Every structure is written in C-alpha cells, then in structure tokens.
Amino acid sequence: MLSTASLELLDSISERADKLKKEILAYRHKIPKDKKIYYFSPNGDDSNDGLSPERALSTIERLNSLSPEPGSEVLFECGGIWRGNFRAAEGVTYSSYGDGKKPRIYGSPFDGAKVGGWELVAPDIYRYSEKLSDDCGCIVMNRGAAHGLKLVVNYEGETPVDNVTREPFVGLENLTEDLMFWHDLGGAVINNPDGGYIYLCSKSGNPAERFEEIEFLPRKNVISIGGDNVTIDNLCIMYGGAHGIGSGTTANLTVTNCVLGWIGGSLQYYRDGRPVRYGNGVEIYGGCENYYIDHCWVFEIYDAGITHQLSSGGDNDCIMDGVLYSNNLIEYCTYSIEYFLGKPAREDAVRYMSNIVMRGNILRYAGFGWGNQRPDKTTAAHFKGWDHYNRVDGEFIIEDNIAECSRYMLLHCGTDNDDWNPKLNGNTFVQYAGGELGRYGKYPTRLLPYIYQNVIRDEFADNQFYIIVNTSQD
C-alpha cells in the first residue's frame, strides 16, 4: 500500500543511516596471531622487512614490488595516507592496524593545493602545472565541499562539441562555469604517455588559495584484484577515476567495513569519436563465486556503488553464484546497486546468476550526486538491472532494504523471462511526489509511475511504499 511519508519516518531513516555509518567508521580490524603480517606506515622505511610495526614498510611502490603469500595480511597504519594504486595478491587480506581513522588509499597522485601551481592563462582560467597522463574523471576540493564539472568533448561529427550541451567546442572559451575543467590529452584519447594539462575555471581566484585540498581522479582502479580469495577490510578508498576496487572473474572476493567515495568519471573509451564515462565503487566484471560486500559506506560514485556485471555478446560462459550485499550504506551514487548479465552470442554458452541476495542495505538519493553531470540523466536507480538477459537459476532475493528517493526511478529490474525476476520482500521504498517507481519484469519493461495502482502488484505485496508529499525532487 502507498502511504504518506511522515517526518517521523524520514527522521528514523536518517537516524538508522547515521547509526550504520558510525558503526562502519568505528570498526577496528582484529589482527590474527597465526598469520604472516606485512606492516605499512607513513613513518616506515622501504628498506625494512615489514614484519612488525617497528620495522614497517612505507610506500605503495614497495607494496607493488612485494609478493605476499596466500594466507598473509598486509596492514596499513590507521591515520595514514597513501597515494597511488596497487594490485591485491591472491589469498591476501588488506586491512589496518593501530588507532585512528581508517587508512586512506588515494588514487589522486598529489594534492593540487600543495603540489605544483596554478597559472592564470585566460580570464578566470587556470592551468595546473603537473601533467596527468590518464584522463581525469573529476576534481574534488576540500574533501567534497566542492567538485569540478568535467568538460567532455565529443568528436563524432565534423565539429567537436561539448558532450552534454552539444555546443561547439573551441577550447578554453567553453569553460564558462565556476569549477568547470578540461583535461587536454590531445584529442579523442583516454590517456597520453606525455601527459596533458588540466584547465580549471575558478571565478574566485587561484584554486590553491581558494581551497585547502584539491584531489584528482585519474583513470585507474585504486585497487585491482589480482586473484581469488582476496579480502579488503577497513580501508578508506577514494579519488580514482575508474573503480575503487575493480576485478575480472574471481572467487571469494570479500569487501568489509570500508569507505569508498569520489570514484569514477574518467573516459572508459571513445568509440567513433563518441565518449563514454564510467566508474564504480566495487566492481566484478565477469563471473564470480562467493562475492561478499558488508558494512561499507559508499558515496559519490559516478556510476554504481557496488556491482557485478557482464555485457551482452561474446562466446564465453559466465556464472555469478553466491553474491551477498548486506548492511551497506550507499548514498549519492547514480546506481546504488547495479547488476546485469548480458545474453551470449553463442547459443550453447552457459550464463546465469544464482544465490543473489541484497539484504539490509540503506540506499539513499540515487542520481543526486556528482555523477548526474552525465548526458543520460534518466537512468538513476537504487537497484539497476537494466533490460538485460539476467537469467537466474536459483534464488535472487532483494529484502529488508531501505531505498530512499531517486532522481529518476527506485528500481529497474528487467529480465528475459518473468520466472527470473528478483523476489522483493520487506523492503521500504520512499519516493518524491511525481517520481517513478521504475521498471520490473520481462523486457521491454514499462515505466511505472509511483502511484497507488502500480505498487499493489503481486510482486510488491510484501513491501512498504511511501511518498513524500509537498516536495519535489528538484
């Protein structure tokens, strides 16, 4: 039944979200006594062996040259910051030791308020002195108090245009809005070994004087998964232009008690001159077995907070079995939870999902984050399966979640067969007046307005639906 959302209900959701966030932030990793441990500290030394806090190693570069054996742990000191990217080795746990804030792993190579300089090259236009070779997905100032608006150039036609406004692209003159930026890599490319300058419109003076912190999101995963049986625990992972944690086909990937924010926005590719941006908090692209994400706070992701996915086409088999997303707080992402499994080109290819559970998550404000600077503004949803093949052999359960407000729709769960629809139980859905419930069932799915007649379908009978009256999504 569709009910009016009371202030008490909305306050209770905020209280539950705050409580969950505090639990996640307060977590401390328990260091095992029977495993080999490698310690990393900002005050360490890469000439050490790293086998005790007193002999800690120091840098991401040293970590990438290390070969930790399966069953060992790599622990970062709480309160520290590391810049760069690393590949997680098979069978290894990456977590924390000590007291204080979670260790911060930043994909941003440097703080642009402290490293390099900003030269005024045109009225209100500043060029940053340090070139970046990988496409910059966004610029984040003062830990998210402000952020950049990326100018993406579309080269499909005879004349390059702004990919969002479709206005002709002529160069720095297109940077008309405060904090709008352009990463000049030399045309329709996603990287340039020689690097490229970043140009930023700042209408209130030199960016380094205006902001205390300026972080860049280069086109790399902050953490790439390099094998099976990897655990990422109690880390703060931020400022990567690709994915926070990215993996291909894998087994037994566990992500717990982590913070992931300000991820994505880089160019995934140019296809015939048409640009596509991307970036997810945690992604498996391909098959998976026992994929577990629990008690993570995920926010401000360009695309999806957490996801498992494979596109249509190809001849490969793909089985996604044993996925559990539980007790996560996901806010201000375009898609809170995204999943899809495309239909193979080979008729006898085996592709299906099985034992998929999304339980106890609090999902808030899909499409209201910085990712809405995208050209396609009508896709945001908390549960996003698109109109894909999405074959299910076994259970697919979405239960006991809170899905609060989406700029467009709350859910989009399409399949090739109504027998494969996810089962919805005990969820609480809250949407703005005039908003959409979404799409559900065999594709092509039909958009369901958020009105009484559409929320009493049999599939939705065991869920609660609320509408916020006298308030629009704008």
Kindly give the parts of the chain with pLDDT less than 70: 1, 451-457, 470-474
pLDDT in the model for residue 283: 99
pLDDT in the model for residue 461: 83
Cβ-proximal residues to 383 (8 Å cutoff; 6+ apart), any chain: 336, 337, 358, 363, 398, 403, 410, 411, 412, 413, 422, 438
pLDDT in the model for residue 5: 94
- pTM summary value: 0.96
Separation CA 432–CA 438 (nearest Å): 13
Asked if residues 179 and 214 have their Cβ atoms less than 8 Å apart, the reply is no
pLDDT in the model for residue 83: 98
The tens digit of pLDDT for each residue in 187-213 reads 999 999 999 999 999 999 999 999 999
pLDDT in the model for residue 195: 98
Find the Cα–Cα–Cα–Cα dihedral 265, 65, 255, 355, rounded to 10°.
Answer: 100
Separation CA 223–CA 245 (nearest Å): 5
pLDDT in the model for residue 438: 93
Separation CA 194–CA 432 (nearest Å): 48
pLDDT in the model for residue 453: 58
52 token code pair: 């005790």
The strands making up 125-128's β-sheet, listed across from edge to edge, are: 118-122, 125-128, 198-201, 180-183, 149-150
pLDDT in the model for residue 2: 82
